[in-house]
Amino acid sequence: MSSHGYDILLVGRLLKSSKPLDEKVYRQKRIKCIFNKGMPFYAEYNIRLFFFLLFNKFDIYGAIDADTILPHALVSNIKGKKLVYDAHEYFTEVPEVTDRKFVKKIWKNIEKLGIKKAVLCYTVASELAKVLSNNLGKQFKVIRNVPFQKHINIDDAYITNKYNRRLIVYQGALNRGRGLEQLIQAMQSIEATLWIIGVGDIEIELRALVKTLNLKDKIIFKGLYKPEELGKLTEEATLGYNVLKNDGLSYYYSLSNKFFDYIQYGTPSISSKFPEYEQILKQYAVGITSEIDPTELSKNINILLSDATLYRQMVTNCMQARKELNWEKESATLIQLFNEIK
């Protein structure tokens, strides 16, 4: 948006673990809070965000998910400015919320109240857009979270080396519901190496499971990487892992950025049997789906690791799919939507 004449300010929060911000073409602001989790955090952050927005001038207020919609809605209404709602996920159906009826009801009411005057709403996937449109009474457009196109020269020798490397990669947060416990168990019957890239609240448990199953030689915890460094690791991998537990409708309707990252780097993936992934895999054949059960995971991963012809075709398909599933194309829709409300 900055390259199309918009003056953008991205607002987030500052944590003790936050790394220094890299210089960007847009402005960046971090809000520091006393509380960093639970309702005290959400309450404090929203109050601080409200006053920050109130005492600064903007033409468009862009709220991301239900946990930031209220201050944006209030200030945009007070100042008579435009409100945009960007739903990164099905917020009221995330695992941390969906089973807590009272908390879920609060967030549902906040979201419904907050987007009443939104002039533009969008989310990351077509099926989720339908659900949110029906539930919230606003039309949701689709802006997929796809990366910039990667221009990697991939020939037969490259594919052969990639296949023979027998390297599985997971990139993302180490949280419950990401299928990591099941993947670690499945690795007992998979002759390959697994790189787990990222950090999260179950990392200690995952490391303990690896030790218990005596898999330390096969499973490596790589920690955090910057995006440009992460890409090099993804490019090296034979397969990408993207299987979630059906733990709430937010996961069921998800369409993760890692799924598209794998495609851009010519890395076939194994994904959840959820509607968005099944639809894209049916169209482009850049991977397969699997149930989250360890036995099923090992069976399906071994199919890809043992069929060189199938694997080669899927890498070739990735090279074709990346010409369509990239930010250069997707961003044109975003700019058009904002130009229409400017």
Q: Which CATH number goes with the domain that contains 60?
A: 3.40.50.2000
| 91-100 mean pLDDT | 86
- 137 and 167 fall within a common domain: no
pLDDT at 154: 86
- Give the N- to C-terminal CA distance of the chain in Å, as an integer: 12
Residue 315 lies in a domain: yes
Residue 316 lies in a domain: yes
Spatial distance between the Cα atoms of 264 and 91, rounded to a whole number of angstroms: 27
Residue 97 lies in a domain: yes
Residue 25 lies in a domain: yes
Residue 233 has pLDDT above 90, yes or no: yes
- 290 and 182 fall within a common domain: yes
- 305 and 240 fall within a common domain: yes
The DSSP result for 292-324, as a single string, is SSHHHHHHHHHHHHH-HHHHHHHHHHHHHHTTT
Residue 65 lies in a domain: yes
Residue 300 has pLDDT above 90, yes or no: yes
pLDDT at 226: 84
**Sign of the C-alpha dihedral, residues 173, 151, 86, 130?**
negative
Residue 95 has pLDDT above 90, yes or no: no
How many domains would you assign to the chain?
A: 2
Spatial distance between the Cα atoms of 142 and 144, rounded to a whole number of angstroms: 6
Residue 90 lies in a domain: yes
Residue 219 has pLDDT above 90, yes or no: yes
Contact 314, 287 (CB under 8 A): yes
pLDDT tens digits for range 130-186: 999 999 999 999 999 999 999 888 889 999 999 999 999 999 999 888 999 999 999
- 88 and 180 fall within a common domain: no
pLDDT at 253: 93
pLDDT at 77: 97
- 197 and 176 fall within a common domain: yes
The confidence band for 88, taking pLDDT boundaries of 50, 70 and 90, is very high
pLDDT tens digits for range 163-178: 999 999 999 999 888 9
Higher pLDDT, 265 or 95: 265
Which residues are CB-contacts of 93 (< 8 A; sequence separation ≥ 6)?
A: 248, 249, 250, 253
pLDDT at 26: 96
- 190 and 138 fall within a common domain: no
Query: Cβ–Cβ contacts within 10 Å for residue 301, how many?
Result: 25
Which residues are CB-contacts of 75 (< 8 A; sequence separation ≥ 6)?
A: 50, 53, 54, 61, 81
- 6 and 110 fall within a common domain: yes
The confidence band for 284, taking pLDDT boundaries of 50, 70 and 90, is very high
- 167 and 290 fall within a common domain: yes
pLDDT tens digits for range 241-264: 999 999 889 889 999 999 999 999
| 309-313 mean pLDDT | 96
- 129 and 162 fall within a common domain: no
- 130 and 262 fall within a common domain: no
- E strand map for 51-164: 60-64, 82-87, 118-123, 140-142
Residue 86 lies in a domain: yes
Q: Which phi-psi region, left, alpha or beta, contains residue 285 (left: φ > 0; alpha: ψ -120 to 50)? A: left
Residue 227 has pLDDT above 90, yes or no: no
pTM value surpassing 0.75 = yes
- The alpha-carbon radius of gyration of the chain (Å, integer) is 21
Spatial distance between the Cα atoms of 203 and 58, rounded to a whole number of angstroms: 40
Spatial distance between the Cα atoms of 72 and 45, rounded to a whole number of angstroms: 12
Q: What are phi and psi of 322, to 5 degrees?
A: -65, -20
pLDDT at 33: 96
Q: Domain span at residue 57?
A: 2-146+327-341
Residue 99 has pLDDT above 90, yes or no: no
Q: Which is it for strands 167-171 and 239-242: parallel, antiparallel or unpaired? A: parallel
Residue 151 lies in a domain: no
- 174 and 311 fall within a common domain: yes
- 256 and 293 fall within a common domain: yes
Average pLDDT, the chain: 94
